[in-house]
């Protein structure tokens, strides 16, 4: 097994959690829950950007009305 840097491990974890939360948000039938998932996704996306050392967006926002 190849040794991975801590930064790479953190990025892989964040990517996996972001995928899971996005899927969960898509299955949610409650508007309040979708907003909560969106907030979690927004915060983890910011953490991922911070960990990579570059900011591509000010904040992640998904349209939860559709």
Residue 61 in this model has a pLDDT that exceeds 90: no
What are the C-alpha distances in Å from 43 to residues 4, 14, 17, 31? 24, 10, 11, 19
Flag whether 32 is in a domain.
yes
Flag whether 64 is in a domain.
no
Residue-level pLDDT at 66? 46
> Tell me: the pLDDT tens digits for 19-55?
999 999 999 999 999 999 999 999 999 888 888 777 6
Which residues, other chains included, contact 38 with Cβ-Cβ below 8 Å and sequence gap of 6+? 25, 61, 62, 64
Flag whether 15 is in a domain.
yes
Flag whether 20 is in a domain.
yes
Flag whether 65 is in a domain.
no
Which residues, other chains included, contact 44 with Cβ-Cβ below 8 Å and sequence gap of 6+? 14, 17, 18, 21
Q: What is the total count of domains within the chain?
A: 1
Q: Which pTM was predicted?
A: 0.73
Flag whether 34 is in a domain.
yes
Flag whether 66 is in a domain.
no
Domain assignment of residue 43, given as a range: 6-52
């Amino acid at each position: 097994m190849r040794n991975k840097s801590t930064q790479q491990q953190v990025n892989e974890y964040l990517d996996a959690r972001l995928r899971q939360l996005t899927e969960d948000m898509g299955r949610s039938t409650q508007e309040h829950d979708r907003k909560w998932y969106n907030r979690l996704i927004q915060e983890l996306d910011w953490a991922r950007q911070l960990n990579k050392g570059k900011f591509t967006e000010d904040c992640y926002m998904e349209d939860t009305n559709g």
